[in-house]
Structure 1
Amino acid sequence: MARSDVTKLSFILLFAPFALWIALLIILPQLGIGYISLREKVGPGEYTFGVSNYVAFLSEPIYWNTLLRTAWMSILVTAMALIVGFPVAYYIAKIAQRRSRAALFLMCLIPLWVSDLVRAFGWIVILRETGLVSSFLQKIGLVSGPVEFLYNDATVVMGLVYTVVLFMIVPLVSTLDGMDNSLIEAGYNLGGSRFTVFRRIVVPYAMPGIVAGCIIVFMLTAGSYLTPILLGGKNSMWFTEQIYEQFVTRYNWESGATFGVLLLVFTSFVVWLGLRLTDQSLASTVAKD
């Protein structure tokens, strides 16, 4: 067998599992959801095709208000994750000694070994009325009785930031690690202040990592279910809860599929808009060398 044939066969064998994973677990389910969303029930077991499910969504303010609220909260979580994660990533990539970088990076990844459910219940143990924070405040005399820190937007945002900040740190570390330190030194030698060097050199170089991290964090946050429900309770008003209610509680698969398609389209639009505003592309972020 010729060397070129061996190379092609090796590529096919390596790429086939990835292609099957994409086709069977992403493309086909999305096509199925899109197909179901276009079905209109006209009788028991009888369906026709149309856009009435989408019209019903737009005619119900609580649904699209929840979608817009979820998008706004996801953007807020993304911004806070960037604010928290950038200094950590910069320290790991440019300040920490080379020996300790791997250990610090591993410490950032350790929380990923625990499921979202366990992490959410950890926050519940800390923030509930009889939790650690409330008990500590009572013990030092700052409050006279139990304080409930759960079931509000601030707690949901905090829990989501803790959950997704690791996905912001990873691409930032990968990008900043490739920046030559001489660029920063040149900025200082030319009279630039710390803020100027950060704004004119560090941020532009790290922009592909920033955009990649923001895309990952935003999509994960908008599609999150456990953390908003457990930490926000009945006041969470998260769009994934509406999808769950349509599929499981009401057993209305047509509306649930419609909500799922709209969530995907809307979040994709936000990502596209963010790429346009930052003058970036997927090729320069996700596929950056």
Structure 2
Amino acid sequence: MNQRDARRLSLILLFMPFALWIVLLILLPHIGMGVLSLREKIAPRQYEFGFDNYIEFFTEPIYWHIMARTAVMSLIVTALALVIGFPVSYYIAKIAGPRTRGAMFMFCLIPLWVSDLIRAFGWILLLRETGVISGVLQWTGLISEPIELLYNDAAVIVGLVYTVMLFMIVPLTSTMDGMDDSMIEAGYNLGGNGLTVLRRIIIPYAMPGIISGSIIVFMLTAGSYLTPVLLGGKYSSWFTQTIYDQFITRYNWESGAAFGFLLLIFTSLVVWIGLKLSGQSLSSTVARS
């Protein structure tokens, strides 16, 4: 075996685990779900291929209303995560020293040390009628009786922003860390103020990180199930809950698979529109961040 063949074999062996991961855990399940979504039940244990499961979504207003609501809420969460995460990322990348940077990254990682279930119950302990926040407000005299802060859109948004914040901070920090400080200094030397430097220099340079972080946060939020259900309660209308009901409650796997694919197509369409409006491409965004 010559050196070229040895390099090729090494590359194949290194790539094999990733290829198996993609094929076995992503590609084949999606193919199976796609086939399942095209099955129409015409009698007990009798099926034929068709698009009735997809037509059901478009002919029932409640389904696409929940889909649109999920998209709007996910965009709100993404925008809030960006507004909160951008200054944190800038501080970590350009202002903080090595020790402070490590400490801040550690604080951002702490929420991921526990499961989504524990994090959601933590918010329940804080926001419920007999929870910590209600108790403190009563103790300070700001309210006269317990207040329920759970089971509304605000609670769901707060819980989701807390959950996905790290996935916005990391790509933003990675992108802005590569920006030369002299670019910022030049902006000030040319007479720009802080707002002008932010708008003309920092944000354009950080745009790949903004887009990649927003894509990750949006997709994670739209596909979230546990947090909206626990913090939104019976008033929560999240499309993943609709998919869950089709699979588990109604045992209608065909419609559940179709709804899952529709969620994937819809969120991918939103991401594509965002890339077009921002003038970015997916390949360049991922490469820069």
Shorter-chain TM-score bucket reads over 0.9
Matches within 5 A, 1:48-87: 48-87=48-87
Residue number in structure 1 paired with 2:100: 100
Residue number in structure 2 paired with 1:281: 281
Partner letter of residue 225 of structure 1? Y
Q: For structure 1, which segment, 137-146 or 233-242, has the greater mean C-alpha deviation from structure 2 after superposition?
A: 137-146
For 2:48, what is the secondary structure of its paired residue? Answer: strand
Deviation at 1:143, TM superposition (A): 1.4
Deviation at 1:101, TM superposition (A): 1.6
Report the Cα distance in structure 2 between the residues aligned to 1:56 and 1:283, rounded to whole angstroms: 35
Report the Cα distance in structure 1 between the residues aligned to 2:180 and 2:105, rounded to whole angstroms: 20
Report the Cα distance in structure 2 between the residues aligned to 1:182 and 1:98, rounded to whole angstroms: 20
**RMSD over equivalenced CA pairs, Å:** 1.0
Instruction: Calculate the TM-score normalised by the size of structure 2.
Output: 0.98
Q: For structure 1, which segment, 279-288 or 115-124, has the greater mean C-alpha deviation from structure 2 after superposition?
A: 279-288
Deviations 1:167-197 (A, max 9, x none): 0000001000000000000000000110010
Partner letter of residue 271 of structure 2? V
Deviations 1:121-165 (A, max 9, x none): 000011111110011111111112111100000110011000001
Deviation at 1:96, TM superposition (A): 0.6
Q: For structure 1, which segment, 28-37 or 85-94, has the greater mean C-alpha deviation from structure 2 after superposition?
A: 28-37
Deviation at 1:6, TM superposition (A): 2.2
User: Once superposed, which parts of structure 1, at least 4 consecutive aligned residues long, lie more than 4 Å away?
Assistant: none
Partner letter of residue 277 of structure 2? L
Matches within 5 A, 1:240-251: 240-251=240-251
Residue number in structure 2 paired with 1:146: 146
Deviation at 1:55, TM superposition (A): 1.1
Report the Cα distance in structure 2 between the residues aligned to 1:201 and 1:144, rounded to whole angstroms: 50
Partner letter of residue 186 of structure 2? A
Corresponding position: 1:198 with 2:198: yes
Deviations 1:88-141 (A, max 9, x none): 000000011133222322221121111111100000011111110011111111
Report the Cα distance in structure 1 between the residues aligned to 2:91 and 2:202, rounded to whole angstroms: 13
Corresponding position: 1:38 with 2:15: no
Partner letter of residue 171 of structure 1? P
Task: For structure 1, list consecutive stretches of 5 or more residues without a partner in the other structure.
Answer: none
Partner letter of residue 269 of structure 1? L
Matches within 5 A, 1:120-269: 120-269=120-269
Instruction: Calculate the TM-score normalised by the size of structure 1.
Output: 0.98
Q: For structure 1, which segment, 225-234 or 45-54, has the greater mean C-alpha deviation from structure 2 after superposition?
A: 45-54
Deviation at 1:27, TM superposition (A): 1.0
For 2:288, what is the secondary structure of its paired residue? Answer: coil
For 1:286, what is the secondary structure of its paired residue? Answer: helix
Deviation at 1:260, TM superposition (A): 0.2
Report the Cα distance in structure 2 between the residues aligned to 1:41 and 1:223, rounded to whole angstroms: 27
Partner letter of residue 36 of structure 2? I
Residue number in structure 2 paired with 1:18: 18
Partner letter of residue 100 of structure 2? S
Deviation at 1:9, TM superposition (A): 1.7
Report the Cα distance in structure 2 between the residues aligned to 1:135 and 1:109, rounded to whole angstroms: 29
Report the count of equivalent residues: 289
Task: For structure 2, list consecutive stretches of 5 or more residues without a partner in the other structure.
Answer: none
Report the Cα distance in structure 1 between the residues aligned to 2:80 and 2:271, rounded to whole angstroms: 17
Report the Cα distance in structure 1 between the residues aligned to 2:157 and 2:135, rounded to whole angstroms: 23
Q: For structure 1, which segment, 276-285 or 263-272, has the greater mean C-alpha deviation from structure 2 after superposition?
A: 276-285
Report the Cα distance in structure 2 between the residues aligned to 1:288 and 1:10, rounded to whole angstroms: 27
Partner letter of residue 281 of structure 2? S
Deviation at 1:288, TM superposition (A): 2.4
